[in-house]
Amino acid sequence: MKVRTFHVKSMHEAIRSIKDTLGPDAVILSTKRVRSWDNGFGLLGGSVLEVMAAIEDDAAVPEAAPLLGEDEQTRAAVTPAPMVPAEESRFQKTLQGAMETGKEQSRPAARQVPGPSRETRATSTSTHNNGENQGATFQSFQRVYEDLLAQGVEHATAEACLRELRETLVEQGSAQRNSSLQLLRTVLLDRVSTAGPLLSAAGEQKIALFVGPSGVGKTSTIAKLATHYGIVEQRSVALITMDTYRPAAVEHLRLYAEVLGIELSVAASCEEARAAIAQAREAELILIDTTGFNPYEPITAQRWRGLLNGAYPMEVHLVLAAGTRVPDLVVSTSQCVDVPGLRLLFTKLDETAGYGGIFEATHRTGIPLSYWGTGQRVPDDLVQAQVDRLGDLLLGGQVRTPATGTTQAWERHTTPTFVPGIKTYAR
Ligand SMILES: Nc1nc2c(ncn2[C@@H]2O[C@H](COP(=O)(O)OP(=O)(O)OP(=O)(O)O)[C@@H](O)[C@H]2O)c(=O)[nH]1
Ligand SMILES: [Mg+2]
């Protein structure tokens, strides 16, 4: 049986595509509406119809060796699944579909070969051996899929990655377990991008604005960056706070400014902030703090927007806590997704064991990750975001230990590779 999935705008288009691709005898197995990620988060994008259709393959084709050996098929079928049944069967269906499609796609090649040449026999043996590999791959994919869901990666994302993996495996014609998992990592991480450090080359100047929901760690992150660049790197830094709604907020930053010997300006409006920038323009790095916004009240989320119209190009870092639910990340990000030079800065990675939100936010929007906050210590607990490390966190099987409250994988990845100051991961 040949199974194909179509993403279309209407049922009418689906039927036309199915007929064109599979012919008039094809049957529709399922239809559902799924979000289209093309425009970033689903909020901004629309939805499309996902139609799965199949056709019996009645051509007289010699039976190809099964991609899943019989034993493996039985084992796969009885593997106890920690997923809820509906999720499991959905995944099994996707994966079986993937394997079936691979099997069907390998047939035309066999059909083209009139007799079993030496090369064909060799391929056939290796295909048979691949049956075992496919079985192992099947099971390890299932575990990885469950891990991704547990991390907070969305079903649709995990399935899309799996589909892409399948297509690549089919193209390559083999599926060694290790290389498949490596490939899955690549498939996942191809969807992630990072931005460089705030200041790299000597003499570079940067203005950075930090926005985000309340309590996520905007002011602490600014303190970490100011300490690093001002003290460790000996660069000239200026601070501006637009968070004048609470007197305690100004005092919070003033304390750091005094300790660091850095100038702090207080700006009650975008106009005042622009004047403060003009005054501090000699500084290599100007860091601007803002009042925390309520993502569900767009007016509070837009107070700093007036700054973007000025003569000063700036990097805007949307600060978000790593453990936030994906739907809330979606709403926060939708407040600023159109801002040029936007970066996602995640904090509190030490307070969660689920990194799926980080992955979802960057891959759905294409906005690069800048820094990660990994604790409360200033300036030590700030690292540059790195694609490879996100891969480790997503696929490394991290476990929260109730005894210590720490995340094992996080510690494993951070402790040995950090250098003092703002820590950069060694690759
Ligand atoms: N565990 C942990 N705590 C953090 C991290 N970053 C900040 N915090 C803590 O989170 C709390 C809030 O941090 P702030 O920097 O005041 O957050 P904010 O976004 O400026 O808050 P508002 O100004 O009220 O909007 C403080 O107790 C920080 O020490 C982090 O990466 N990990
Ligand atoms: Mg603050």
Compute the mean pLDDT over every residue in the chain, rounded to the nearest whole number.
73
- Listed in order, strand segments (DSSP E) in 200-284 are 206-211, 237-241, 263-266
- Listed in order, strand segments (DSSP E) in 10-159 are 27-35, 47-55
Q: Which atom of ligand 1 is nearest to the CA of 347?
A: 31
State whether the beta carbon of 407 lies less than 6 angstroms from ligand 1. no
Residue 427 is assigned to a structural domain of this protein:
no
Among 3-17, 31-45, 294-308, which stretch is predicted with the lowest mean pLDDT? 31-45
From 376, 383, 414, 422, mutation site for ligand 1 pocket: most ligand atoms within 8 A of C-beta? 376
Residues 288 and 219 in one domain: yes
- Strands 237-241 and 263-266, by their bridges, are parallel
Q: What is the reported pLDDT for 74? A: 32
pLDDT confidence bin for 270, thresholds 50/70/90: very high
Q: Which atom of ligand 1 is nearest to the CA of 292?
A: 25
Residues 341 and 224 in one domain: yes
Residue 286 is assigned to a structural domain of this protein:
yes
Tens digit of each residue's pLDDT (9 = 90 or more) over 93-139 = 544 554 444 444 333 333 222 222 333 333 334 444 555 555 656 66
Residues 40 and 83 in one domain: no
Q: Which atom of ligand 1 is nearest to the CA of 319?
A: 19
State whether the beta carbon of 104 lies less than 6 angstroms from ligand 1. no
Task: Please state the rounded mean pLDDT for residues 354-360.
Answer: 94
State whether the beta carbon of 300 lies less than 6 angstroms from ligand 1. no
State whether the beta carbon of 294 lies less than 6 angstroms from ligand 1. no
- Could you give the number of structural domains in the chain? 3
Residues 271 and 387 in one domain: yes
Residues 25 and 145 in one domain: no
What three-state secondary structure class fits 5?
A: strand
Q: Which residues contact 376 (CB under 8 A, 6 or more apart)?
A: 220
Q: Tell me which of 350 and 303 has the higher pLDDT.
A: 350
Ligand 2 geometric centre to CA of 244 (Å): 10
Written as six digits, the tokens of 337 are 């997704």
Residues 280 and 393 in one domain: yes
Tens digit of each residue's pLDDT (9 = 90 or more) over 360-373 = 999 999 999 999 99
Which residue's alpha carbon is at the smallest distance from atom 2 of ligand 1?
A: 375
Q: Report the C-alpha gap between 10 and 291 in whole angstroms.
A: 44
Of 190, 221, 243, the position where a domain reaches its end is: 190
Which residue's alpha carbon is at the smallest distance from atom 7 of ligand 1?
A: 217
Q: Is the pLDDT of residue 380 over 70?
A: yes
For 324, phi then psi, to 5°, come to -70, 140
State whether the beta carbon of 249 lies less than 6 angstroms from ligand 1. yes
Q: What is the reported pLDDT for 63? A: 36
- Residue 309's domain is classified under what CATH number? 3.40.50.300
Q: What is the reported pLDDT for 137? A: 60
Residues 210 and 186 in one domain: no
Residues 363 and 272 in one domain: yes
- Strands 342-347 and 315-321, by their bridges, are parallel
Domain that holds residue 237: 206-417
Residue 197 is assigned to a structural domain of this protein:
no
Q: Which amino acid is at 238?
A: A
Residue 413 is assigned to a structural domain of this protein:
yes
Q: Report the C-alpha gap between 341 and 343 in whole angstroms.
A: 7
pLDDT confidence bin for 411, thresholds 50/70/90: very low
Task: Please state the rounded mean pLDDT for residues 22-39.
Answer: 63
Residues 246 and 355 in one domain: yes
Of 123, 157, 190, the position where a domain reaches its end is: 190
Residue 5 is assigned to a structural domain of this protein:
yes
State whether the beta carbon of 214 lies less than 6 angstroms from ligand 1. yes
Ligand 2 geometric centre to CA of 252 (Å): 8
Nearest to 41 by CA among 334, 373, 421, 340: 334
Residue 393 is assigned to a structural domain of this protein:
yes
pLDDT confidence bin for 204, thresholds 50/70/90: confident
Residues 264/254, Cβ–Cβ less than 8 Å: yes
pLDDT confidence bin for 246, thresholds 50/70/90: confident
Q: Is the pLDDT of residue 215 over 90?
A: yes
Residues 244 and 112 in one domain: no
Question: Other C-beta atoms within 10 Å of 29: how many?
Answer: 15
Ligand 2 geometric centre to CA of 208 (Å): 15
Which residue's alpha carbon is at the smallest distance from atom 10 of ligand 1?
A: 217
Q: What is the reported pLDDT for 230? A: 93
Of 134, 166, 190, the position where a domain reaches its end is: 190
Which ligand lies nearest to the CA atom of residue 222 in the structure? 1
Among 197-211, 353-367, 408-422, which stretch is predicted with the lowest mean pLDDT? 408-422
Among 132-141, 157-166, 250-259, 301-310, which stretch is predicted with the lowest mean pLDDT? 132-141
Residue 63 is assigned to a structural domain of this protein:
no
Residue 72 is assigned to a structural domain of this protein:
no
Ligand 1 geometric centre to CA of 414 (Å): 20
Q: Is the pLDDT of residue 328 over 80?
A: yes
Residues 24 and 134 in one domain: no
Q: Is the pLDDT of residue 276 over 90?
A: yes
Q: What is the reported pLDDT for 291? A: 93
Among 27-41, 249-263, 412-426, which stretch is predicted with the lowest mean pLDDT? 412-426
Residues 114 and 89 in one domain: yes
